[in-house]
Amino acid sequence: MKKLTILFITKPMQHHIERSTYYLGKELEKFSNLTYHHVDGNLPDIIRQMSIKPDFILFNDLKPDYCPWMRNVDQVKIPKGTLVHDLHYRIPRRKRMYQKDQIPHLFVQYREAFCKWFPEFVDQMIWLPHHVPAEIYRDYSFEKDIDILMMGSLIPHLYPLRLRMFQKLKLHPGFKYFDHPGYKGIPADNRYVTGPRYAQTMNRAKIFLTCDSIYKFPVLKYYEALACRTLLLASGSAELKDLGFIDKETYVEVNETDFYEKIMFYLKNESERNRIALNGMKLVQQKHTTQIRAKELLAHIQQIVKR
C-alpha cells in the first residue's frame, strides 16, 4: 500500500511543555509522507505551492496556540480533519469553524465530553485518545524512593479531588508534590520537572495521584503514570474503563472519601501494588503508545481517502 501524503497544519510544538502532537508527528513521519505548515496563510495558495498534492489535510485543533490561522479552508476540496484537544475552549467558535471551514472529520481525545458538548457533531467524531511515546514513558528501573507523588495543577474549581488529596497529604513525610509549569514554552530557568526528567520522577514513585477534573477528562497523566510502572490512584469513569483502566487491575479508583485509606493500604502491600502497576504498564505498551495511535490515525485517514 502506497504511503499517504499528509499536510499537517500545526504550530511548532517541540518546545512546549505538552508535546503530544509533536511526538505524534514524529511517528506519522515514519509511516506517511508528512509535510508540515507552521505559519498563517491562505490554504488554496499553500496547496498550489506544494510539489505533491496531499491526500489529506490534518489541522492541530484549530486553536491559536496549536494551529496557525488558515483562510479559505472551505475552498479546498481535499479531505480534511482536525485533532480536537481542549474541548472546553470557546465551544461556540469551534462549532462555527467546523461548519464554515467544512471540516468533516474530528479526531477527538475525550469521547464522553465531546458527545455532551458537541451533540450535533457526533457523527463526525473519531475517537483518538491520548498516547505516550514509549521511549520516554517507560520503566527506567529506578529505586522506588518516593512513597506518594503528585504533579500538576491544583486549580480548585477544575481539580477538586486533586486539591483535596494535596491538602490531606502535604505534611505526610513520604509525599512529594511538583508544581505545574504551564502549557507553552519551557521556562528559561527550567526549574520545573519536565520531559524525560518528569517520566523518570514518575518511575521513582510507588504511588501517583491525580484526577480527571470536573469534566471527567481521561487526562494524559493517567497514561504517563501507568507507562512508568507506577501505581495510579485516581478518579474513574466509564470512558476510562473502556480505555482499559480497570479498578484493582490496571489502576486503583478513588474518591474524596476513600483515597487516604487506599493510599495507606497500597503502601503497605508491595506485592499487590507491583502487580497492578505491572498490569498498567502492559496496558499502555499494548494499546496507548504514540506509535500505536499514529497507526490508528493513519488507518482512519486511509479509509477516509478511499471513499
Q: Within a domain: residue 138? A: no
Going by pLDDT thresholds of 50, 70 and 90, the confidence category of residue 92 is very high
Q: Please report the pLDDT score of residue 237 as a whole number.
A: 98
Same-domain pairing of 186 and 202: yes
The CA distance from 189 to 267, in Å, is 34
Q: Please report the pLDDT score of residue 104 as a whole number.
A: 96
Same-domain pairing of 119 and 165: no
Q: Please report the pLDDT score of residue 214 as a whole number.
A: 96
Task: Look up the CATH number of the domain holding residue 18.
Answer: 3.40.50.2000
In contact, 11 and 83? CB cutoff 8 Å = no
304: helix, strand or coil: helix
Q: Please report the pLDDT score of residue 195 as a whole number.
A: 82
Q: Please report the pLDDT score of residue 208 as a whole number.
A: 98
- pLDDT > 50? residue 188: no
- pLDDT > 90? residue 140: yes
Same-domain pairing of 223 and 94: no
User: What pairs with residue 233 in β-bridges?
Assistant: 209, 252
SS3 content of the chain, % helix, strand, coil (to 5): 40, 20, 40
Same-domain pairing of 183 and 282: yes
123: helix, strand or coil: helix
The 8-class DSSP code of residue 187 comes to P
Q: Within a domain: residue 37? A: yes
Q: Within a domain: residue 218? A: yes
In contact, 221 and 244? CB cutoff 8 Å = no
The CA distance from 221 to 130, in Å, is 10
Name the percent of the chain lying above pLDDT 90.
89
- pLDDT > 80? residue 220: yes
In contact, 22 and 16? CB cutoff 8 Å = yes
Same-domain pairing of 87 and 13: yes
Same-domain pairing of 95 and 188: no
* Number of structural domains found in the chain: 2
Name the percent of the chain lying above pLDDT 70.
95
Element (H, E) at 302: helix 290-306
Same-domain pairing of 269 and 157: yes
What is the residue range of 62's domain?
Answer: 5-131+289-306
Which residue's entry shows cell 505551492?
49
The 8-class DSSP code of residue 194 comes to -
The CA distance from 283 to 291, in Å, is 14
User: What pairs with residue 177 in β-bridges?
Assistant: 150
Q: Within a domain: residue 136? A: no
Q: How many helices (H) and strands (E) does the chain have?
A: 11, 13
Same-domain pairing of 85 and 65: yes
Q: pTM of the predicted model, to two decimals? A: 0.94
Same-domain pairing of 118 and 17: yes
Q: Within a domain: residue 51? A: yes
Same-domain pairing of 174 and 283: yes
Q: Please report the pLDDT score of residue 179 as a whole number.
A: 84
Q: Within a domain: residue 224? A: yes
Average confidence (pLDDT) over 228-245? 98
100: number of Cβ within 10 Å: 10
Average confidence (pLDDT) over 277-291? 98
Same-domain pairing of 55 and 86: yes
Going by pLDDT thresholds of 50, 70 and 90, the confidence category of residue 230 is very high
Q: Within a domain: residue 141? A: no
Q: Within a domain: residue 171? A: yes
Average confidence (pLDDT) over 75-103? 94
Nearest to 127, CA basis, from 103, 109, 115:
109
The CA distance from 215 to 91, in Å, is 14
Same-domain pairing of 118 and 153: no
For 11-20, 64-73, 210-219, which range has the lowest pLDDT when averaged over its residues? 11-20
